[in-house]
Amino acid sequence: MKKLFIIGTGPGDARYVTPQASAAIAASSELVAYGLYLDLLGELCDGKTRHELPLGEEIERARLALDLAAGGRPTALISSGDIGIYAMATLVFELLDLQLQGRESSPGWLDVDLEVVPGISAMQAAASRMGAILGHDFCTISLSNLLTPWETIEKRLHACGQGDFVVSFYNPRSQKRDWQIAAARDILLDYRPPQTPVILGRQLTRADESIRVLELQQLDAQDVDMFTLVSVGNSESRHIENRGRHWVYTPRGYRKKL
């Protein structure tokens, strides 16, 4: 059986890689990924053929993974985090869909057995380091307007505000995009208090991890970069401190029973 594993390996630290993901990598001879993700996996990748394509070449990575698998080599397409959340999995299915419609010329892709392996996403790593900000209804919004029109993103920011969802922002900033996070902050400030707690997690679980809490009104573009995950509480989220440790949690409504 021709096989393509589509694998999320969690935020970085090997302790977050599930046994299912490790087994899928072990069963593959070809690894396709942005190189940094493979470096983080260490010895798991020993003896495998590495196909490293830079950021920006996502379509090429998905095609290459499908081609290698269709050629009979057990292949792993790897992303950090959850590969199903703002990552490569959806692109593989988009290519498969085009082939089914006859708009690609790679019929061999249709013979590949696809298996998606989920991973711990950045929002989960950030939330767990700082308490439980995802304890009640939440949403995720990518602030990258490279593939999504800003009007769509803006509509979702207003919906997030109206629905009082906790929100995690993926892709909050890049070298070429620096104004989106402040625009998002300003929209949310129309709906929730300026003191609403915000978690900034950078390089989560990696050697140079940093994580901190600030107020929504303090959030600024200079605080974030492309390695930062931003999670904003809802109107009920609370920031507490005990023995010098800071925690943010969103209550589910048990308080009336406590």
By CB under 8 A, the residues from 225 to 244 that bind a copy of itself are 238, 240, 242-243
Cα 6 from Cα 105, distance rounded (Å): 22
Among 26, 27, 159, 226, binds a copy of itself (CB under 8 A): 159
Q: Which of 142, 180, 196, 228 binds a copy of itself (CB under 8 A)?
A: 142
Cβ 234 vs Cβ 248: under 8 Å: no
Whether the Cβ atoms of residue 115 and residue 92 lie closer than 8 Å to each other: no
Number of residues that bind a copy of itself (CB under 8 A): 82
- One of 102, 147, 175, 244 touching a copy of itself (CB under 8 A): 147
Which residues on neighbouring strands pair with residue 202, listed in sequence order? Answer: 210, 228
Minimum CB distance to a copy of itself smaller for 140 or for 228: 140
Q: Which residue type occupies 115?
A: E
Site for a copy of itself in 84-103 (CB under 8 A): 84-87, 89-98, 100
Q: Which of 181, 206, 241 is nearest to 11 (CA)?
A: 206
- Select 173 or 249, whichever has its Cβ closest to a copy of itself: 249
**Residue placing its CB nearer to a copy of itself in the complex, 119 or 172:** 119
**Residues from 109 through 138 that contact a copy of itself (CB under 8 A):** 110-111, 114, 116-121, 124-125, 127-129, 131-138
Closer CB to a copy of itself, 75 or 171, in the complex? 171
Is residue 104 within a helix (H) or strand (E), and if so which, with residue range? Answer: none
203 binds a copy of itself, rule: CB under 8 A: no
Q: Of 38 and 161, which CB lies nearer to a copy of itself in the complex structure?
A: 161
The contacts of residue 105 (CB under 8 Å, 6+ apart) are: none
| Contact positions with a copy of itself (CB under 8 A) in 20-79 | 20, 23, 58-59
- Residue closer to a copy of itself (CB basis): 170 or 222: 170
Burial class (CB in 10 A: 0-12, 13-18, 19+), 240: exposed
Part of the chain binding a copy of itself (CB under 8 A), chosen from 151-159, 192-200, 213-221, 223-231: 151-159
Min dist. Cβ of residue 84 to a copy of itself (A): 5
- Region of 10 please: left (phi>0), alpha (psi -120 to 50) or beta: left
Q: For the range 236-244, what are the long-range contacts, defined as Cβ-Cβ under 8 Å and sequence gap of 24 or more?
A: 236/136, 236/164, 237/133, 237/166, 237/196, 237/197, 238/197, 239/197, 239/213
